[in-house]
Amino acid sequence: MTRQLLNNISVYALIFALSFLTVLGFSSSLKADAPQELPKLTPKSPEVVAALDKMCAYLAAHYKDEERAGGKALAALAYYKYTGEKHHQIYVDTINAIKEKLTKEPGKVDLDIYETGLSLIFLVEYDPEGNKALIDAIYKSLLDRQKPHGGWGYPYNTTGDTSQTQYGVLSTWTLLKARQPVNMQSGESAIDWLLKTQDPEGCFGYQGAVAEKIGQPVKQSQTGLCMTAAALGSLYILSDVLNIGRVAQVDNALQDALKPVDQNKDVQRNYRSTTSPKAVAEVKKLGNEWFDKNFEVEYSSWPYYYYYAVERYESFREALDGTTIDPSPYWYNAIANRILKNMSRDGAVSDSCKTVCATSFAALFLMRSTKRAIEKDRYLGGGELIGGKGFPTDMTRTAVRNGKVVSKRAPTTAEEMLEALKDPDNEALEAAVDSLDEMPPELAKAIMSETAKQIQKLVSDPKPERRTAAVKALGKSGELDNVPVLLYALTDPDETVVLAARDSLCTIARKLNGGYGPMEGFDEVQRDRAIAKWKAWFKSIRPAAELE
């Protein structure tokens, strides 16, 4: 009896041990597949670049499958953001599809809010001046359909729709970034609606229930990660549009120096919001805490739409909160790996949005399109200005040039110009480069000929703004002798320097539309391709040239 009992115990112990080892093995496999163990991806990772190449090739071949004008606009936007190409049938067909939605009634278009926002964003990003009449008509329609409480939504509902409101808000920021006129009161109304539709727990719902007062949140329905990302992204965007908590930080002694010359183009700098920065900060804090606590990659409904909302929200959060930017943050890495896993061989992904739209949203996420747009916006880039970095030592002689505080007085004589260009520590350097445009071409070329060697040395200066000024100046010389240095500048780690070098090469080569590139938002593959083409061009003119 005792022996039998011991045998049974031994069997049970063995079963328990095997089960325990199995659990350990299963746990290890789970850990191995967990997002933090996945490959660290960035928009420049080879596998991400390969995926984006396939996605954009798919969009170019299948955009006609999307019947909606807004869907075509989304595909064209993703294609343009990634490739930088200015000439493709996708743009022609998309613009024609948008034009067909214009009605005879002034200020009206036959587009829902999603389509209106996406169409407007594409047109502004692609060609704001060439499509100005169309943009104005669509923007008027968007303003006309903003509801009295500040949100946007379906025409048959009085409630505001968080999902649709984000595209009304993003349209406003895109217009402002492109120096197009915007209605700032529309932004005030929208942010008021957002501040009054947060759930007490910090999340946001689909159809916003509006609280009587800010700071007295009411329960929301159909809450979740997607709507919270949409709302918080919109809140951050409007904080930037309305200068909430940012302009007030600038030292009063600098106010006169920071006033723009062109009041129409710099309406944002003059605007003073009536919205409480404290209220905005409190809503952001509660919302960020809820999102961080509840974040998940899996999202059963409209996952790619959700992923793009996350990228937009997290990008503005990084920029405006001044957080340390990890090149592969957890949320990006986890979602990027999931997208690559779900992508078909031809580059497509699909969900309820339909394949073309889902693929477009996925591409916009992978390339971090919002982050790239923010980096090109001089207002968000103005963090250095507010932080007090980069100020000239003599604050009594300052002005704003391209969003930066620089020496107010540009050189006015050839001698002063030469002095400024020869001295790498001269605070008038950037103003001197800008002033070359105002000189007779013969004088500008003569000055550059005299200072070329000194300017070439600045292409390796530690400060990116000086490297930018240097490559701009070399382009104004028009001399082929400066091409090798400009080719070197195309390898610069700062995108602003690279694009300035490209423009200078275009000036010397007399090429339009960015020449051989690279275009804004380029990746390393596109950069290498552009450099190879520029080298081939230069070799065709100077076969004996030796290029390192």
User: Can you tell me the distance from the alpha carbon of 504 to that of 520, in angstroms, rounded to the nearest whole number?
Assistant: 15
DSSP string, 187-202: HHHHHHHHHTSB-TTS
Strands, E assignment, 356-508? 398-401, 404-407
Which of 305, 321, 319, 301 is closest to 357 using CA atoms?
305
3-state secondary structure of 42: coil
pLDDT at 391: 34
Integer Cα distance of 508 and 498 in angstroms: 15
To which H or E segment does residue 287 belong?
Answer: helix 277-294
Those residues of the chain that have pLDDT short of 70 are 1-36, 245-270, 324-325, 377-451, 547-548
End-to-end CA, the chain:
89
Backbone angles phi, psi at 161, to 5 degrees: -110, 115
Distance (Å, rounded) from C-alpha 161 to C-alpha 146?
Answer: 11
What one-letter code names the amino acid at 539? Answer: K
CATH of domain 409-541: 1.25.10.10
Give 385's Cβ-side CA count (13 Å radius).
Answer: 24
Distance (Å, rounded) from C-alpha 266 to C-alpha 377?
13
Q: Is residue 59 packed enough to be buried (19+ CB in 10 Å), middle (13-18) or exposed (0-12)?
A: buried
pLDDT computed for residue 149 by the predictor: 94
* Coil/strand/helix, residue 38: coil
CB 515 within 8 A of CB 501: no
Domains of the chain, residue spans = 409-541
Beta strands, E only, 222-316: none
Q: How far apart are CA 69 and CA 247, in angstroms?
A: 38
Instruction: Kindly state the tokens that stand for 130.
Output: 């060439």
Q: List, in sequence order, every residue forming a beta bridge with 207; answer none if it has no partner.
A: 161
Query: Amino acid identity, residue 224?
Result: G
pLDDT (0 to 100) of residue 437? 53
Query: Pick from 243, 224, 108, 70: which is nearest to 162 by CA?
Result: 224
Is the bond preceding residue 518 a cis peptide, omega within 30 degrees?
yes
Contact 347, 55 (CB under 8 A): yes
If one counts every other C-beta atom within 10 angstroms of the C-beta of residue 75, the result is: 30
Instruction: Spell out the SS3 assignment of 440-462.
Output: CHHHHHHHHHHHHHHHHHHHHCC
Size of the chain in residues: 548
Q: What is the H or E stretch that residue 406 is in?
A: strand 404-407
Q: Are strands 207-208 and 398-401 parallel, antiparallel or unpaired?
A: unpaired
**pLDDT (0 to 100) of residue 415:** 57
CA dist list (Å): 356 to 73, 74, 240, 347? 11, 9, 31, 11
Gyration radius (Cα) of the chain, Å: 27
Closest CA to 486 of 506, 511, 505: 505
Which pLDDT value is given to residue 431? 64
The dihedral through the CA atoms of 54, 60, 65, 67 has a sign that is: positive
Confidence at residue 250, expressed as pLDDT on a 0 to 100 scale: 37
Q: Tell me the β-bridge partners of 398.
A: 407
